[in-house]
Chain A
């Protein structure tokens, strides 16, 4: 469950204060599939960084699963990301010299999970995205769609409370993009919370609910 209460993020550019997020308030429940849509420069990335605990708000409170995320050290934020957030990036962000298996295993290593359980969970996650047969391949040996599926498996394996996808289909052709979106629908059907950030209205419309962000201000889209 995500609650934004009057959250602002302010950047100092010269003498001027720029509100990347301007008193944003919103509410996302567990099990929801929400898209956040907005053009580039609208504050989307800032919003994603705050939701993903990569950054903290300057004003207002953001709480994740009832836990207010503020005044945390970088290490504490890392721990929260590790347990609660499953990132899916536009450019996949897999580590190039590691195999698909090792990439999926990575967050579990930082969760200090035992080797046998890690193996079990990695295999389970790769099965979910139908890529177990490519587990020993490196990202360069996989297609874009396959790389994104490995990235999704990485998120699944860490059993997060929130899947945070940033333009997950942005680098893919429409057919593979559709496959990835189907995967999100499946995950939603299984009860996972998904926040999908995009500038593509067609993609955004597939979510059960859409939130628009423009010039740092957040508003519900009524369809």
Chain B
């Protein structure tokens, strides 16, 4: 019986292709909006949170805004590690220099830091080693470069032990960073790490004063304790002036990000859901027209013995089929759009399976909810009047 109803619904939909398509269009647009928007927001969110978490979730960033005539030196940083909640501290200064070899030259961001930086930021090397404390103490001209610097500026991937010129000063390459494959952007990353003490000599814009440093907490649970300890120490140093410095907590940034993006996907999803709802009203509208048009057919079916349920089932399945076909076309369309966005925008968004399931369930619910009234109207028709209806 269900199979018969599906066959009947199919022939009714096919017999009026243009109208069926226009009816489905509401659902198609709704589903595309829902799936594409939520997929892209989810994709953007995960790429941002990946970036943040790859930097370590137990990371605190400290900026000194006002040194109160008491500049922070590298040697001062050790006092912070005395706290049990703090495992490592590394300063960071950066400058833009021209990195050159006989092969090519490019503008490169150079970070001046210490040995602890690699652990704090979770940097991984593909070959060689990171900076050591002795390098910092000796103002050594050694450099750790990103893989793009190796391939694009030197011309080969494995160049440990060779040299590169940073603003004309020769540095020995001691390590190469792993290229970051998780990053969605394909643009080249030109970065180099040298001892903090070397950078102060290389770049006139960097002084020996530390204005930014990274702190890693012992573990994720001690983040708040570490932040409190750090605040106490800095407050003591800068005369209880809380505006002299600021501390950014990586995990709280991530929490904020997560709540912002989940609000955003809820908002966009909500707007898309409204357009789905409008599509559902379109289905109801057309089903009502269809029921009126087919009054005679309903009368004949009832005369030869169709019961209330049989007629109801026939029209309900038709409404359900319209909404589900719309949903299917919408999902395929969304997939197409996301693929096009990926090709054009050089990104890697995925169809979010969760939202596909939500869209399907929602479409089905809409088909049923907005199909019930017209189906019931059809089933309730009096066969005598329906037979007499002039079509």
**What residues make up the interface of A, taking CB atoms closer than 8 Å to B?**
49, 52, 54-55, 74-75, 78-79, 81-83, 87, 89, 93-97, 106-107, 109-112, 154, 158
Contact = CB atoms under 8 A, between A and B. Distances in A.
Contacts of A95: 297, 300-301
Given A54-B383, A55-B384, A93-B387, A111 B11 contact: no
A102 to B, nearest CB: 9
B300 A79 contact: no
Contacts of A82: 304-306
Contact of A83 (B11, B305, B307): B305
B267 to A, nearest CB: 45
A35 B325 CA distance: 51
Given A81-B304, A83-B305, 7 more contacts: A54-B303, A54-B387, A82-B305, A93-B300, A107-B304, A109-B1, A109-B4
Interface string B291-313: 00000110111111111111000
A89 B305 contact: no
Nearest to B1: A112
A79 B304 CA distance: 9
B304 A158 contact: yes
A110 B304 contact: yes
Interface of B: 1, 4, 11-12, 15, 296-297, 299-310, 383-384, 387
A81 B307 contact: no
Closest 5 A/B residue pairs (Cβ): A82-B305, A107-B304, A110-B305, A75-B307, A78-B307
B303 A81 contact: yes
Contacts of A74: 307-308
A19 B268 CA distance: 64
A62 to B, nearest CB: 16
Nearest to A81: B305
A97 B384 contact: no
15 contacts: A49-B384, A79-B307, A82-B305, A82-B306, A83-B305, A89-B387, A93-B296, A93-B303, A93-B387, A95-B301, A97-B15, A106-B304, A109-B4, A110-B304, A158-B304
A112 B5 CA distance: 13
Contacts of A97: 11-12, 15
Contact of B304 (A49, A87, A96, A112): A87
Nearest to B14: A97
A95 B383 CA distance: 14
Contact of B305 (A55, A93, A94, A107): A107
A3 B4 CA distance: 36
A79 B384 contact: no
Given A95-B300, A97-B11, A112-B1, A78 B384 contact: no
A52 B383 CA distance: 11
**Candidate in B1, B303, B307 with the most chain A CB atoms within 10 angstroms:** B303
